Amino acid sequence: MAVDVLLGLQWGDEGKGKIVDVLTPKYDIIARFQGGPNAGHTLEFEGIKHVLHTIPSGIFHNGVKNVVGNGVVIDPVILKVEIDKLLKMGVDIKAQLLISKKAHIILPTHKLLDKASEIAKGKHKIGSTLKGIGPTYMDKTGRNGIRVGDVFAPNFKETYATLVEKHHNILKNYDFDYNLSELEDAFFEGIETLKGLTPIDSEHYLNQAMKAGKKILAEGAQGSLLDVDFGTYPFVTSSNTITAGTCTGLGIAPNKIDRIIGIFKAYCTRVGSGPFPTEDFTETGAKIREIGHEFGATTGRERRCGWIDIPALKYAIMINGVTELSMMKGDVLDTFETIKVCTHYMHGGEKIDFFPYSINDTETTPVYEEIQGWNTDTTKLDSSEALPENLIAYVKYLENLLETPITIVSVGPDRSQTIAMNADVLA
């Protein structure tokens, strides 16, 4: 059996957690391949909302294995909080959650370095979630990092102390006060929790599972426009958020990948700094934020809101090899008379329909087409036939521009508010 991939095509928070949860009954294994607790993946069912940061979004389905792959960075403090919540709900963590021995660990000093670096950048800050993501990936590629497998070694404390010493030396370069010891108790408690989990060689585990006919869904974090290579650099995260990240972050070969589900909002949001050509600074943007509850699931920060950006989506679809699309939060536009779609940019005085090298430095303004809204409450609809004509027209219009089928339309945060646009997509 092959692996399917689900990932975000914008700047994150597209609704990945919800759709992974909805699709999980079709799979045996859900596997996160990159990112860390900068992610906040929300799922809702039976009137309860859950936010996951490290643990894959298939964890609420009995019998499904959830793998945290080698490409993920883990904060033991945050992982422990997540686990404790799930244990209270009766989730069998020991059986359902498997952690790659090769995943890297976020130390308290990584979080301090993240904060010190952001303060030093001043108005040029990235807008990091301050979870230590950048410094941990820097230590990984710098070959200084500590992996899950290392915590079982008798000399773990020494390995930890050596890396912390390096970090103290770097922190001396910043005008930054900190108290490490108050963070260390929680860290070592988290390490104990981590030791009680099921560590695996996830690349072997996943490839054997495939051979045995098991179905795997790889769950992306962040979004393609935050990818360290292809996103709006330097205002990006520090991992490869795109389909290729599945290969390096799980040990899955490219020829084993089958469906690639790209997920996007019917409009667009961004949290943190960086360019966002279709951002709407008027009451309209504020209305999207209010109706869409656009506040970060990890940091609670206001998300910047604006219109859908076709050149950016086409770019993300190209880089990822997307085979089908899920359109999220259609219901948020239920009361809009008209909907704007950015089909082109004016970039350095030229009209273009592609995503250029940089939209940071050269003035890039959107060129819009206006589409009729549907002015209908869609949140209680349960089949594609029931969707208002103008919403179907919007879907068809986007499919045409994006040259990719939209197979799911989401009309609310709950599991049940998910409409399959063809018969077999959720079956």
Q: Minimum Å distance from CB 414 to Mg ion?
A: 17
Q: Minimum Å distance from CB 113 to ligand IMO?
A: 11
Q: Quick check: 71 binds ligand IMO (CB under 6 A)?
A: no
Q: What is the DSSP letter of 205?
A: H
Q: How far is CA 407 from the centre of its chain?
A: 20
Listed ranges 126-134, 150-158, 243-251, 386-394: which one lies at the site for ligand IMO (CB under 6 A): 126-134
The one of ligand IMO, ligand GDP, Mg ion, none whose footprint includes residue 272, by CB under 5 to 8 A per kind, is ligand IMO
Q: Quick check: 332 binds ligand GDP (CB under 6 A)?
A: yes
314 near 399, Cβ under 8 Å?
A: no
d(CA 400, CA 325): 12
d(CA 39, CA 28): 23
Q: Which residue is nearest to ligand IMO, using beta carbons? A: 272
In this structure, which long-range contacts are made by residues 241-244, counting pairs with CB atoms below 8 Å and at least 24 apart in sequence? Answer: 241/7, 241/8, 241/34, 241/35, 242/7, 242/316, 242/319, 242/320, 243/5, 243/7, 243/319, 243/320, 243/321
Catalytic residue among 4, 13, 21, 75: 13
Nearer to ligand GDP, 151 or 411 (CB): 411
The one of ligand GDP, Mg ion, ligand IMO, none whose footprint includes residue 285, by CB under 5 to 8 A per kind, is none
Work out the burial of residue 259: count CB atoms within 10 Å of its CB; fewer than 13 is exposed, 13-18 middle, 19 or more buried: middle
Catalytic residue among 4, 28, 41, 309: 41
| Residue of 4, 5, 13, 78 that binds ligand GDP (CB under 6 A) | 13
d(CA 216, CA 219): 10
Q: Minimum Å distance from CB 345 to ligand GDP?
A: 25
The one of Mg ion, ligand IMO, ligand GDP, none whose footprint includes residue 44, by CB under 5 to 8 A per kind, is ligand GDP
| Residue of 381, 413, 419, 421 that binds ligand GDP (CB under 6 A) | 413
Q: Quick check: 407 binds ligand GDP (CB under 6 A)?
A: no
Nearer to ligand IMO, 221 or 305 (CB): 221
41 annotated active-site? yes
d(CA 18, CA 308): 20
- Which 3-42 positions form the footprint of ligand IMO (CB under 6 A)? 8, 11-13, 35, 38-41
Q: Quick check: 127 binds ligand IMO (CB under 6 A)?
A: yes
The one of ligand GDP, Mg ion, ligand IMO, none whose footprint includes residue 135, by CB under 5 to 8 A per kind, is none
- Which 301-330 positions form the footprint of ligand GDP (CB under 6 A)? 328-329
Phi then psi dihedrals of residue 25, to 5 deg:
-55, -20
Q: What is the DSSP letter of 231?
A: S
Query: Greatest CA separation found in the chain?
Result: 65
Cβ neighbours of residue 253 under 8 Å, at least 6 residues apart? Answer: 247
Cβ neighbours of residue 1 under 8 Å, at least 6 residues apart? Answer: 210, 213, 214, 215, 216
Q: Quick check: 410 binds ligand GDP (CB under 6 A)?
A: yes
d(CA 63, CA 27): 10
Nearer to Mg ion, 40 or 292 (CB): 40
| Overall residue count recorded for the chain in this entry | 427
Residue indicated by tokens 């869904």: 217
| Residue of 30, 271, 402, 409 that binds ligand IMO (CB under 6 A) | 271
Q: Minimum Å distance from CB 390 to ligand GDP?
A: 17
The site for Mg ion (CB under 5 A) is made up of: 13, 40, 297
Residue 109, CA atoms < 13 Å, CB-side half-sphere: 18
CB atoms within 10 A of CB 113: 23
Q: Quick check: 17 binds ligand GDP (CB under 6 A)?
A: yes
Q: Minimum Å distance from CB 381 to ligand GDP?
A: 12
What is the pattern of x (binds ligand GDP, CB under 6 A) and - over residues 283-302? ---------xx---x-----
13 annotated active-site? yes
The one of ligand GDP, Mg ion, ligand IMO, none whose footprint includes residue 237, by CB under 5 to 8 A per kind, is ligand IMO
CB atoms within 10 A of CB 290: 12
| β-bridge mates for residue 42, sequence order | 51
Q: What residues make contact with ligand GDP under the rule CB under 6 A?
A: 8, 12-18, 39-42, 44, 292-293, 297, 328-329, 331-332, 410-413
Q: Which residues are catalytic?
A: 13, 41
Q: What residues make contact with ligand IMO under the rule CB under 6 A?
A: 8, 11-13, 35, 38-41, 126-129, 131, 133-134, 221-223, 226, 237-238, 271-272, 297
